[in-house]
Amino acid sequence: MSKLVLIEFLTVDGVMQGLGSPQDDTEGGFTHGGWGAPFAGSIHQVVAPTGLSNTSSYLFGRKTYEKMAAFWPFQPDDHPMAAHLNATPKYVASRTLRDVSWAGTTILSADLSAAVQGLKGTETGDIAVLGSGNLSRQLLAENLVDELRLFIHPLLLGTGKRLFGEPPIPTNLELKSVAQTDLGTVALVYGI
């Protein structure tokens, strides 16, 4: 049985919105897009080289999927992340999406909980969720997440979408590892 792993890049105050670029996600008038760029180069210091090889599939929410599908299929395969994303099965949870163009993508439009349980029973490695805030909160609320990999960047934004809203019940986490980059990003791995 595979693990469902949330991989999230956050500020100290929990903001996950607009990590990559100023145009990444401006919903709600967010003007701090691209805040993660200064820290991107140091992430390799805390990510194990086996991380990609342990991931057998990806699960995205619709918004994140559409952003990823507009970028990664057009990157060269000599980029390790592009090569892995483009060759690995991808699932997108959506009630509105009907067609996908990114090779290897399957739409999960039925009961999300049953679909994810099915994936966990048939996949052999980790199922990684990247970003996808709404989906991540839903997966947490339905107790479908096995592990959190949080990259906390040394930055306070004060505004923006946050990963954790109102958890349905208290949840105990088991700290599995802690690492730090030279720029002060802390990588935390928690089992749920």
- Half-sphere exposure (CA, 13 Å, Cβ side) for 165? 11
Q: Which amino acid is located at 23 in the chain?
A: Q
* Residue 74: domain span: 4-19+32-43+50-182
Quote the pTM value: 0.92
SS3 11: strand
Q: For 37-55, how does the pLDDT look when each residue is reduced to its tens digit (9 = 90+)? A: 999 888 888 886 566 778 9
Is 22 exposed, middle or buried, given 0-12, 13-18 or 19+ CB atoms closer than 10 A?
middle
In a domain, 192, yes or no: no
Helix axes 112-122, 133-141, angle to 10 degrees: 80
Question: Could you identify the residue written with the tokens 């500020």?
Answer: 11
In a domain, 112, yes or no: yes
In a domain, 126, yes or no: yes
pLDDT at 49: 58
Q: For 135-182, how does the pLDDT look when each residue is reduced to its tens digit (9 = 90+)? A: 999 999 899 999 999 999 999 999 999 998 766 667 889 999 999 999
Q: What is the CATH number for 90? A: 3.40.430.10
- Tokens for 189, please give them: 């791995």
In a domain, 190, yes or no: no
In a domain, 24, yes or no: no
In a domain, 191, yes or no: no
Count of beta carbons in the 10 Å neighbourhood of residue 168: 11
From the list 11, 3, 71, the residue with the least C-alpha distance to 38 is: 11
In a domain, 26, yes or no: no
pLDDT at 51: 65
In a domain, 187, yes or no: no
For the chain, how many structural domains are there in total? Answer: 1
Going by pLDDT thresholds of 50, 70 and 90, the confidence category of residue 109 is confident
